[in-house]
Chains A and B, each alone.
Chain A
């Protein structure tokens, strides 16, 4: 579906016409990312991170395929094969550092993309499916990144794998068999490394598939926008190409400059020193921490310090950690406020900027810090707010809050002049 005023694809060459009658691939691109997709004219820069995440997924897939040509997924030589890439493969260091830091940039983009959705209510009707698929992409990305971090087979790789698969052990009855199935044994070893490598190669393509559905679902209602008001006429939109291709284009250049600065001048800033020590099952690192993008969830996992009757603290932590992300699946039904954009929700705005964002930041900080006071305590407070925000505050707020008046149309919000009704 598209708006009736969308530009129509017209093949300009005879070959183009021939193709269009048989395999209309040009038409598909034209309608999804080209001039045939009318897009709200008022999108701000928060709408740039979806395409940016896509760019970094491509960076990851391309660099990853090259790395896989040189990497050896065997517990005895995995570490040395990574060093072989760093030292002996032509420009191998560039490919590896692009891949390691590209993962961080993918998550930066995806977090800002999710944050934009949360603030502007992009998850609300009729865009629930886009949001749900987005959460699926995020979960797949986390699994992929976690398994990728295991591949260099350094100390953090090994102990990270041990801790994360150990979480499943907390599940009663089926936990232990699940853990053994994941690892292919009782502890991380060659079997685990091999299956992680296989899945690490597979999942990005699954992500790409879900992204296609994500974009497909997006094209049914069209993009949301900062006012949250529906598109009402041709004046409200501009064709995606050239308007947003140009805006995305220069912004991707800017983001790549930050990426370049990180990967060439401080490539290990976001990594952990211990991962340059080969995996050693007999020596536990002083602090086992995952990559930075997992820190908020890791803080929630560690925030449960005592048993609740018959439920052990560890199981509570695991349940809470998974719930913290799974709650996003229910978000479209938890937040029932008819107003989408946070700009027109005075109270929501305060809870978002002074509650949710600082608490996620605190959780992130505590997740990266050693498991000692006062970090555990701060993580408990921030984690408590996190659950309260999504499960208590948002459902109640949608009833109690009086939203500010919405503009009559996107055009009016931009130009101050009422939208001419399309006749």
Chain B
């Protein structure tokens, strides 16, 4: 009975699916899917490497500081890094006093309450604070940015396919629309052509406009690709502050497991030696 009903159900499902496959295949051959314009003009993220890449990667603190500078002077006008605290900046090589000064001089104040009246107020951030957001809420952010809400950047290199390479490509990848781009896909008012963005046009104006937009104190020439790389490196850190610790811990755990596994394997060989010897005799 089980087999009888089984075969009936099997015939039904398999029949439906093979029939669908046949229909799909005929449709696919006679009427091949047309490549969308977005797909045709969209570019994969550029190849770019960071010192933190790979199992032996390390943060380049000098670069992270430069990246932080780009974030501070360019990105932070519209984008927040709400999950990061000022105190975390010590991981970039700033000392306690420098972090205090960075927090105290930050262009946006932290929300607070007036200690006398209890009314909403703001005060200069302290190291224990998270980075304050440039806009009070999403509505304010949208209103100031042509209804496109600038995403929070704390996790951006983990929240986009392609990670830091995508961020690097996007901020350094603006160009004029190609001549053969159909009219419907050309950037409208308030939009900017960028082949690294999935639908080709994005609301963010090119943030990095030219060489020496920021002046690096370590003498590095602030070209657009350099700034893009630095800020991407900084955003790798904001997304995964423990990245390097993870890799180092990983090697220690692997070393321990390797020794334990070898010892385990040797005891396995010893324990089975007699039983296996019987098998050897057969092969001999």
Residues of A with C-beta under 8 A to B6? 327, 330, 334, 390-392, 395
- A316-B246 in contact (CB<8A): no
Pick from A253, A377, A383, A392: contact of B260, CB under 8 Å: A253
Known: A250-B268, A274-B159, A277-B159. A392 touches B14 (CB 8 A): yes
| Known A238-B275, A243-B275: A387·B264 in contact at CB below 8 Å | no
B161 closest partner in A (C-beta) = A273
With a CB–CB cut-off of 8 A, which chain A residues contact B160? 273
A387, B158: Cβ atoms under 8 Å?
Answer: no
Interface residues of A in 357-410 (CB under 8 A from B): 372-374, 376-377, 380-381, 383-385, 387-388, 390-392, 395-396
Taken together as a complex, chains A and B put the C-alpha atoms of A261 and B253 apart, in Å, by 9
Residues of A within 8 A of B161 (CB): 273
CB distance from A318 to the nearest CB of B (A): 12
B47 at the A/B interface (Cβ < 8 Å)?
no
Q: Which residues of A contact B13 (CB under 8 A)?
A: 320, 323, 383-384, 387, 391
Choose from B3, B17, B27, B163 the contact partner of A333 (Cβ within 8 Å).
B3
Query: Using Cβ atoms and an 8 Å threshold, which residues of chain B touch A72?
Result: none
Q: What residues of B have a CB within 8 angstroms of the CB of A97 in the complex?
A: 246
Distance in angstroms between the alpha carbons of A130 and B198 in the assembled complex: 49
Which of A303, A304, A316, A387 has its CB near the most chain B CB atoms (within 10 A)? A387
Interfacial residues of chain A within 272-306, with CB under 8 A of chain B in the complex: 273-274, 276-277, 286, 303-306
**A186 interface residue per 8 A CB criterion:** no
Q: What is the CB-to-nearest-CB distance from B218 to chain A, in angstroms, rounded to a whole number?
A: 27
CA gap between A250 and B265 in the complex, in Å: 5
Contact with B along A259-275 (1 / 0, CB 8 A): 01101110110000110
Residues of B within 8 A of A417 (CB): 282
- Distance of A247 Cα from B271 Cα, bound (Å): 9
Give the chain B neighbours of A277 by CB distance below 8 A.
151, 155, 159
Interchain CB contact under 8 A, B3 and A305:
no
Evaluate contact between B159 and A265: CB separation under 8 angstroms: no
Residue of A nearest to B25 (CB): A377
| B264 x A391 contact (CB < 8 A) | no
Q: Is A187 an interface residue (CB 8 A)?
A: no
User: Does B261 sit within 8 A of A, measured CB to CB?
Assistant: yes
State which of A257, A286, A334, A385 has its C-beta within 8 Å of the C-beta of B14: A385
Q: A250-B261, A276-B155 are in contact. Are A330 and B275 (CB under 8 A)?
A: no
Chain B positions 233 through 270: 1 when the CB is less than 8 Å from some CB of chain A, otherwise 0: 00000011110001101110110011011001101100
How many B residues are at the interface, by size bracket? 35 or more
A273-B158, A416-B282 given as contacts; is B10 within 8 A of A264 (CB)? no
Q: Which residues of A contact B282 (CB under 8 A)?
A: 414-417
Interface residue? B9 (CB, 8 A): yes
A276–B158 CB distance below 8 A: yes
Q: A257-B257, A265-B250 are in contact. Are A246 and B268 (CB under 8 A)?
A: yes
B102 to chain A, nearest CB (A): 19
A392 to B160, CA, bound (A): 44
B278 at the interface (CB under 8 A from A): yes
Chain A residues contacting B140 (CB-CB under 8 Å) are none
Residue among A267, A303, A385 making CB contact with B20, cutoff 8 Å: A303
Closest partner residue, chain A, to B13 (CB atom): A387
Q: Is the CB of B17 within 8 A of A387?
A: yes
Residues of chain B with a CB closer than 8 A to A388's CB:
10, 14
In the complex, B55 has a CB within 8 A of chain A: yes
Contact of B83 among A80, A263, A320 (CB under 8 A): A80
C-alpha spacing A274/B239, complex, angstroms: 14
Per-residue CB contact flags for chain B residues 128-140 toward chain A (1 = under 8 Å, else 0) read 0000000000000
Q: Is the CB of B28 within 8 A of A373?
A: yes
- Cα–Cα, bound, A385→B247 (Å): 43
A-B pairs with lowest CB-CB distance, top 3: A391-B10, A264-B250, A253-B261
Sample (19) of A-B pairs whose CB atoms are under 8 Å apart: A80-B83, A87-B241, A246-B267, A246-B268, A246-B271, A256-B257, A263-B250, A265-B246, A276-B158, A305-B20, A308-B16, A380-B20, A380-B21, A384-B14, A384-B21, A388-B10, A391-B7, A415-B279, A415-B282
Given A263-B250, A377-B21, A396-B7, list of 5 further CB < 8 A pairs?
A306-B20, A373-B28, A384-B13, A385-B14, A395-B6
Binding site for B on A (CB under 8 A): 41, 80, 83, 86-87, 93-94, 97, 238, 242-243, 246-247, 249-250, 253-254, 256-257, 260-261, 263-265, 267-268, 273-274, 276-277, 286, 303-306, 308, 316, 320, 323, 327, 330, 333-334, 336, 372-374, 376-377, 380-381, 383-385, 387-388, 390-392, 395-396, 414-417
